[in-house]
Amino acid sequence: MSRPYPPPTLHLPDGPKADRWAALLAHVRADPTCRARVRPGKQVVLGVGNLDARIMFVGEAPGADEEVQGEPFVGPAGQLLNKMIIAMGLRRADVYIGNIMNWRPEIPTTPGGVQYGNRPPTAEEMAYCLPYLRAQIDIVRPEFLVALGSTAAQGLLGAGTFRTLGEVRGQWRDFEGRPLLITYHPSYILRNPTNRSKRMIWEDFLRVMDRAGLPVSEKQRGFFLDK
């Protein structure tokens, strides 16, 4: 962001969750700071899912697929997250999925306007978007939060809370009175497609299932163990 912007102040109406979420969506889509950072033909992104979800997953920021479709986790990492949610015995429609950021952090583009690659959002960018994430949490009121990746965890817990994700991965923390489990982003598996990396993340998902009181079969407990 070229200069400091105060985070938005939100005053959502009372009423049914669906009406409050629709009002939030309209607010973020009309936000001039968000709109200024969305490239032509792309979209501002808000979370999606069950507004009565017990579990809410929080990622970093929209990527190339997400800014086109206007929905978080629809690219390769999202497809992998869907599979892991199904492995939990749930569906994508049973949970809520959001991001710290509402736009894809900008990097220089080609003369044709194509952006290749992604960058982590700055602390200022995350601070600007955090009220929108808090509003989603307030609407959904999930029992459990799952931070997917270092950026999501830093955005929720505060910059400088930890040096490496390995220090806090698999730990339960607190975010404004709600249990928060920290794990790797699904893209970690895409970069390291080994049973060991899959098992590390799956063990964290098992922690969520255990704490949420979801049934866990012996088959589920044995997923991705080396033979």
17 burial level (CB within 10 Å; 0-12, 13-18, 19+): middle
Amino acid at 128: Y
pLDDT at 68 over 60: yes
Amino acid at 208: V
Give CA–CA dist 2/106, Å, rounded: 11
Looking at the structure of the chain, the number of domains it has is: 1
Q: Taking Cα atoms as reference points, which of 33, 11, 7 lies closest to residue 24? A: 11
Domain annotation covers residue 90? yes
Percent of the chain with pLDDT over 90: 84
pLDDT tens track for 91-150: 999 999 999 999 999 888 777 778 888 899 999 999 999 999 999 999 999 999 999 999
Is the dihedral angle over the CA atoms 79, 140, 150, 224 positive or is it negative?
A: negative
Domain annotation covers residue 51? yes
pLDDT tens track for 161-207: 888 999 999 999 999 999 999 999 999 999 999 999 999 999 999 99
Domain annotation covers residue 3? no
Q: Which domain holds residue 148?
A: 17-221
Domain annotation covers residue 2? no
User: What is the SS3 assignment for 179?
Assistant: strand
CATH number of the domain that residue 102 is part of:
3.40.470.10
Rg (CA), the chain: 17
Please report, to the nearest 10 degrees, the dihedral formed by the alpha carbons of residues 208, 73, 130, 67 taken in order.
180
Beta bridge partners of 144: 55
Is the dihedral angle over the CA atoms 114, 80, 48, 105 positive or is it negative?
A: negative
What pTM, to 2 d.p., does this model score?
Answer: 0.94
Residue showing tokens 């407990």: 221
